[in-house]
Amino acid sequence: MSTEDTMHNNEHDHDHHGNFWTTYVFSTDHKMIAKQFLISGIIWALLGGALSVIFRLQLGFPDMDLSWLKPVLGEWIDIQGKLDPEFYLALVTMHGTIMVFFVLTAGLSGTFSNFLIPLQIGARDMASGFMNMLSYWFFFTSSTIMFISLFLETGPASGGWVIYPPLSALPQAMSGSGLGMTMWLVAMALFIVSTLLGGINYITTIINMRTDGMSFTKLPLTIWAFFLTAIIGLLSFPVLLSAALLLIFDRSFGTSFYLSEIYIGGEALPNTGGSPILFQHLFWFLGHPEVYIVLLPSLGITSEIIATNSRKPIFGYRAMIGSMLGIAILSFVVWAHHMFVTGMNPFLGSIFTLLTLIIAIPSAVKVFNYLTTLWKGNLIFTPAMLFSIGLVSYFISGGLTGLFMGNSAIDIQIHDTYFIVAHFHLVMGSAAFFGMLAGVYHWFPKMFGRMMDAKLGYIHFWFTFIGVYLIFFPMHYIGIAGFPRRYYSWTNFDTFNGFTDLNMFVSIAAIFTFVAQFIFLFNFFYSMFKGRRATANPWKSTTLEWTTPVDPGHGNWPGDIPKVYRWPYDLGKPVNDEYAAKFSDEEMKNVPDFIPQNIPFSKTPETNFPNENELIALEDEDDKAIEVK
Amino acid sequence: MNTQLHIMEEPKKTFTIHPKKFAMWLFITTVVMIFASLTSAYIVRQAEGNWLIFELPKILWVNSGIILFSSIFMHWAYVSAKNDNTKNVKIGIGAVAILGFTFLIGQVMAWGDLVNSNIFLVGNPSGSFVYVLTGLHSIHLVGGLIFLLIVLKSTIKLKVHSKNMAQIEMCTTFWHFLGGLWLYLFIFLLLYR
Amino acid sequence: MFQVVIGIGILLVVLILFMLFRIGTLLDVVKGSNQKVVTKSNKVNAALFVVLLVIGFGWIFIYSYVYFDDYNLPLASEHGVETDYMFWVTMAITGVVFLITHILLFIFPIRYSYEENKRALFFPENHKLELIWTIVPAVVLSVLIFKGLQVWGDITSKAPEDAEVVEVMGQQFAWTPRYPGSDNRLGDFDYRLIGDDNKMGVDFTDDGSYDDFIPREIHLPKGKPVLFKIRARDVIHSVYAPHFRVKMDAVPGMPTSFHFVPTKTTAEMRVETGNAEFNYELACAEICGRGHFAMRMIIVVDTPEEYEKWKSEQTSLVAQNEILFNLVPDDKKELAKVKGKVKTEVAAVESSEEVKK
């Protein structure tokens, strides 16, 4: 369903290496696979967003007659036009699953890791194009199964995206735990295979296929982010597979890994000795790193965009790498902070509080580094830059509320209330989403050889940025007031039965924000065919992808792969004293404010630092022969 | 736009491991994570009590011997390939495949023994875990067997020799890994009863 | 008909927007602004950040100030004082950080927006700065962690010996409380004994069960420690009593517990909130199926005297339901009659049956 949309995008590319099927469908070219992931991701995001609009209608307008949704939802709307409470849970579950896995994992990593890794490290393609293609098609199959499960008579999986057993293990507990859950598990198993295939490929490519001179200390931060993301995925997704495997055994073969002493549907089940907490441990061992699988690529993309559009180097390149490494490592030892009130040993709770709050330190370092990068910059507000600043804002506001939840004593009250909903939607949902959008705006010229319309981009940004805050900021208030999440309605409780207005406000904001995304959709597809033609390096950036032709063909560079001499952030580099003394004002003005990575130091004597002048001695004749445009 | 690519010689590699071999190691990492998580789940679950203790089938000792033995053959086949002794490679890989298959039969017999001593897949998790761990390992072993057959086919086509070692090297690595993984599981099951 | 009109209306709006967009892009081409590095939009975007900063923070502060009481859930437990205090301390700290970082983030765009002949400051690193903003958060966090773990330790410590025990069982979709009665000991239970009558699976061969009772509301004494013994019958639920700042999952096969001290009676709370119908409520905080949103139970906090009186008025399980009484083994029926205060009629029937045997 995704490939059809991309099939015309290279209409001027007379690069007929293969037929339609090998070029657009079963392509092994990393750029085409990236586009496939992107368009699939966009379709999933629309669907995920639409689901949230439906349940927001229920929450904001509990008395509304939803009969007009009957053509889509069928039996799930009853005769009075009311949404079925169980289907409400199905909507919530599928919204979570789709957004976390299909949009922000596959859509984000799949798109940008595939697209940027070979281009930015100077490789012709991924280590294995075939595996890369398999990765997409496993994802596609998984998507198809998950999509079909939406239309089951018994409904899709409805036990929350965390699928805690016994609820998810027993069809007696809710109808969604029947076939819907089975399909969820099958789809997720395929999804994990897809992610692992992708991850293995990314890591192998980054380690083995960097161009000459591209040492790890010269890698753009995007690549560092994708690299660490892939490693985290490789270590954590197999664990989800184990958790799912045991759940499948419990569901289908009657084992008791997670089930114990259950009386349901008028009978006592024979299972004893299982532990539901065991599932939660296994799940969150993936689940928490998953947060960073979603977030790190966005942070990497943002680092790149903010540096480029501030026309100055990212502040603290090494600190950025260090903090990402810290986050990656710590992400594996904080999982149980999701489980403070599950009856887990309180002592474990103390340890996880400690470890969890430590993770705030590298996150804080990242924020301060972004701010310092903006400081005294020469800021150009492309849509990508705006979305990156938006990401930093969400990362701060969502990250700070993490200090509440991470502290086990405070977590008791706000656990599973709207406070946590606000927290993770800002820090991982919206922030990652903004990273993805920023990436699309920034690399669109490289993907499709055309520019997206900037003005529409600005409108899209401001509507979305403000809209998202209008949705999630009030949720903190509702959360402080104690509203539990995943409630179909609050009218049963006096404690929660206020704030109808606020809920309506949130719902309206959600619909507004959702509708605003159509501006992006229009811009995206319109620009793909009719956008202004791009130049090879429209943002005056330094990384290698901008040294390719406007529409890079299979193999990326028509001639030799460029060699790399310098780090990726030689932006706004000052003229050194020696040259400043003899340069006229005119000459000073003509010194470019960016030096791409493939320019040898011998070509830039006016901006070299003394230690860089020494590096010239290491360059050979070929290097010196490189022409600077 | 001129897209007639003249792909020139690539710049020299910055890292020397063969990409496919490296990918293979990453795959092994994921398998390690699966079994690491399952065995940790085993420990966590055991610590919660209500844990049935039973004897492991004796045949597992025999199976462990078989898989160790097969690793020796695998290594012999690998060395033979290095010395361009195609005949020995064929014999070696054939022997490994037969031993691997015997191991699988042995595992099924072990399940039979478990059933005879009233330990079923469904029941106390201590038994279920044994089935899941051995079963999952066997599935990986079937993958290993398929890989062996692919290498055997290449050997017959004379594609495996001292200048073309990548495939058999990967196969050897994977087979040794499967052997090592089994020993880990076996020792683990012996220690944590 | 109405829908068709709406449809046409939307279509027209979209078309007009599209025309505006086309005209806009054409104008850009005419003006040549699409060739420049930055256009006027750069300043507009930068200014909008400042506008957002002022309006956004203004709104947040005014709204929070005016409506604070609406969202500040009344508090009625001892440990809740501690956790609420910590919550607001954390709120103050994060609030300041939020404010400062956002002022910087939203002021920098206008302060440093693009100028043609300006060059950005080449400032790749500064170890002193980086060290500062690693250490300062670390110190602040250690304080929060230290205080947090102290409170957490108190809350999760062992319940005092004299705590009033209440068993709370979650099921789809209701709570069932059970009190140990006068002997202060809950009878054993076994999930296999659960049935239509014995909905908590109480084991009536255990002496402790004869005076156990299941009331329709949970009553708690003010000022005395209360221990919730929590379990679930089918799937995971979560005991959530918002006013007491209590939350603990109810897990099938794995009993959990939570102890706390209620500090205000329902009557006192009615006065404090000015709501004559105020009731403490118990909700479910872990997704448990279709009726997750409706697992309500009222909690009543009494003065200790009222509480004792209420307890003494309750009928034990064996006295309430003959079928349950019949589950008691014969040799213990006398004991059950005494402990459970089984009314004489029932007892009479029973004894006459015994005589017949």
**Are the CB atoms for B114 and B129 separated by under 8 Å?**
no
Q: Using CB atoms, which residue from B6, B125, B129 is nearest to A558?
A: B6
pLDDT in tens, C179-237: 998 888 899 999 999 988 888 999 998 888 888 999 999 999 999 999 999 999 999 99
pLDDT in tens, A39-66: 999 999 999 999 999 999 999 998 888 8
Rounded to a whole number of angstroms, the distance between the first and last alpha carbons of chain C is: 81
Cβ–Cβ gap C235/A173 under 8 Å? yes
- What percent of chain A lies above the pLDDT cut of 70? 96
Give the up-direction half-sphere exposure of residue A500: CA atoms within 13 A in the CB hemisphere: 8
Touching check for C143 and chain A: CB below 8 Å? no
Q: Is the pLDDT of residue B146 over 90?
A: yes
Q: How far apart are CA A22 and CA C106, in angstroms?
A: 47
**Backbone Cα Rg of chain A:** 25
- Contact residues on chain C for A377, CB-CB shorter than 8 A: 108, 112, 120-121
Cβ–Cβ gap A246/B22 under 8 Å? no
Q: Which of A185, A157, A161 is nearest to A171 (CA)?
A: A157
E-assigned strands of A127-199? none
Cβ–Cβ gap A558/B5 under 8 Å? yes
> Measured between CA atoms, how close is A100 to chain C, in angstroms?
19
Q: Which residues does A287 contact at the CB level (< 8 Å), separation at least 6?
A: A162, A240, A335, A338
> Measured between CA atoms, how close is B70 to chain A, in angstroms?
27
Q: Using CB atoms, which residue from B26, B27, B122 is nearest to A254?
A: B122
The average pLDDT across A212-217 equals: 91
Q: How far apart are CA A323 and CA A329, in angstroms?
A: 10
**Are the CB atoms for C208 and C187 separated by under 8 Å?**
yes
Q: Is the pLDDT of residue C34 over 80?
A: no
The average pLDDT across B154-159 equals: 88
Q: Using CB atoms, which residue from A273, A379, A481 is nearest to C71?
A: A481
Q: How far apart are CA A489 and CA A508, in angstroms?
A: 17
Beta-sheet pairing, C226-232 with C297-302: unpaired
- Contact residues on chain A for B34, CB-CB shorter than 8 A: 238-239, 241-242
Q: Which of residues 291-350 of C touch A (CB under 8 A)?
A: 291-294, 296
Cβ–Cβ gap B5/A553 under 8 Å? yes
pLDDT band, residue A626 (cuts 50/70/90): low
- Contact residues on chain B for A275, CB-CB shorter than 8 A: 44-45, 48
Touching check for C94 and chain A: CB below 8 Å? yes
Q: What is the DSSP string of B134-171?
A: HHHHHHHHHHHHHHHHHHHHHHHTT--BTTB-HHHHHH
- What percent of chain A lies above the pLDDT cut of 90? 72
Q: Which of A272, A128, C181 is nearest to B26 (CA)?
A: A128
Touching check for C177 and chain A: CB below 8 Å? no
Q: Is the pLDDT of residue A8 over 70?
A: no
> Measured between CA atoms, how close is C308 to chain A, in angstroms?
27
When the pLDDT of each residue in chain A is averaged and rounded to a whole number, the result is 90
Q: Which of A131, A141, A115 is nearest to A32 (CA)?
A: A115
- What percent of chain C lies above the pLDDT cut of 90? 61
Q: Indicate if the alpha-carbon torsion angle B93, B99, B102, B108 is positive or negative.
A: negative
**Are the CB atoms for C259 and C160 separated by under 8 Å?**
yes
Cα separations (Å) of A492 from A262, A418, A503, C282?
Answer: 27, 17, 16, 11
When comparing pLDDT for B164 and A380, which is higher? Answer: A380
pLDDT in tens, C269-324: 999 999 999 999 999 999 999 999 999 999 999 999 999 999 999 999 888 888 88
Q: How far apart are CA A361 and CA A19, in angstroms?
A: 52
pLDDT band, residue C344 (cuts 50/70/90): low
Count the Cβ atoms, other than its own, within 10 Å of residue A371. 19
Give the pLDDT of residue A18. Answer: 65
pLDDT band, residue B9 (cuts 50/70/90): very low
- Contact residues on chain B for A199, CB-CB shorter than 8 A: 26
Q: How far apart are CA A364 and CA A366, in angstroms?
A: 5
Q: How far apart are CA C17 and CA C240, in angstroms?
A: 50
Count the Cβ atoms, other than its own, within 10 Å of residue C161. 6
pLDDT in tens, A253-310: 989 899 999 999 888 998 888 889 999 999 999 889 999 999 999 999 999 999 999 9
- Contact residues on chain B for A122, CB-CB shorter than 8 A: 11
Q: Is the pLDDT of residue A90 over 90?
A: yes
Touching check for B26 and chain A: CB below 8 Å? yes
Q: Give ipTM to 2 decimals.
A: 0.91
The average pLDDT across A403-430 equals: 94
The partner residues of C241 in beta bridges, in order of sequence, read: C246
A150 alpha-carbon distance from chain centroid: 23
pLDDT band, residue C82 (cuts 50/70/90): very high
Q: Using CB atoms, which residue from A160, A478, A492 is nearest to C296?
A: A492
Q: Is the pLDDT of residue B14 over 90?
A: no
Q: Using CB atoms, which residue from B3, B15, B22 is nearest to A553?
A: B3
Q: Tell me phi and psi for residue C320, to 5 degrees.
A: -80, -40
Q: Select from C132, C281, C286 the residue whose CB has the most chain A CBs within 10 Å, as the one to mutate to test that interface.
A: C286
Q: Which residues does A56 contact at the CB level (< 8 Å), separation at least 6?
A: A506, A507, A510, A511
- What percent of chain C lies above the pLDDT cut of 70? 95
> Measured between CA atoms, how close is B139 to chain A, in angstroms?
13
**Are the CB atoms for C284 and C174 separated by under 8 Å?**
no
Give the pLDDT of residue B113. Answer: 92
Q: What is the DSSP string of A488-545?
A: S-STT-TTT---HHHHHHHHHHHHHHHHHHHHHHHHHHHHHHHSPBP-SSTT---SGG
Cβ–Cβ gap A313/C137 under 8 Å? no
**Are the CB atoms for A514 and A50 separated by under 8 Å?**
yes
Q: What six digits make up the tokens of B96?
A: 């490994």
Residues making up chain C, counted from first to last? 357
Give the pLDDT of residue B2. Answer: 38
Q: Using CB atoms, which residue from B15, B23, B44 is nearest to A128?
A: B23
H helix or E strand, kind and range, residue C298: strand C297-302
Give the pLDDT of residue A21. Answer: 79
Cβ–Cβ gap A486/C118 under 8 Å? no
Q: What is the DSSP string of C210-246?
A: TT-B--SSEEEETTS-EEEEEEESSS-EEEEEGGGTE
Q: What's the DSSP call for residue C251?
A: B
Q: What chains are in contact with C, requiring at least 3 Cβ pairs below 8 Å?
A: A
- Contact residues on chain A for C251, CB-CB shorter than 8 A: 276-277, 342-343
Q: Which of A317, A337, A488, A466 is nearest to A410 (CA)?
A: A337
Q: How far apart are CA C100 and CA C87, in angstroms?
A: 20
Q: Is domain A3-530 classified as CATH 3.30.390.30?
A: no
- Contact residues on chain A for B2, CB-CB shorter than 8 A: 558
Give the pLDDT of residue C47. Answer: 95
**Are the CB atoms for A580 and A605 separated by under 8 Å?**
no
Q: Tell me phi and psi for residue A510, to 5 degrees.
A: -65, -45
Q: What chains are in contact with A, requiring at least 3 Cβ pairs below 8 Å?
A: B, C
Give the pLDDT of residue C197. Answer: 86
In order of their start, the domains of chain B are: 54-191 (1.20.120.80)
Q: How far apart are CA C285 and CA A622, in angstroms?
A: 68
Q: How far apart are CA B166 and CA B153, in angstroms?
A: 15
Touching check for C102 and chain A: CB below 8 Å? yes
Cβ–Cβ gap C105/A360 under 8 Å? no
Q: What's the DSSP call for residue C171?
A: E
- 3-state percent helix, strand, coil for chain C, nearest multiple of 5: 55, 15, 30
Q: What's the DSSP call for residue C297?
A: E
Q: Select from C18, C145, C157, C260 the residue whose CB has the most chain A CBs within 10 Å, as the one to mutate to test that interface.
A: C145
Size of interface A-C (CB pairs under 8 A): 340
* Largest pairwise CA distance in chain B: 74
Cβ–Cβ gap A211/B6 under 8 Å? no
E-assigned strands of B36-161? none
**Are the CB atoms for B38 and A257 separated by under 8 Å?**
no
pLDDT band, residue A158 (cuts 50/70/90): very high
Count the Cβ atoms, other than its own, within 10 Å of residue C328. 23
Q: Which of residues 218-257 of C touch A (CB under 8 A)?
A: 230, 233-236, 238, 240, 242-243, 245-249, 251-254, 256
Give the pLDDT of residue C245. Answer: 95
Q: Which of C319, C320, C311 is nearest to C342 (CA)?
A: C319
- Parse chain A into domains and list their residue ranges: 3-530, 549-624
Cβ–Cβ gap C296/A493 under 8 Å? yes
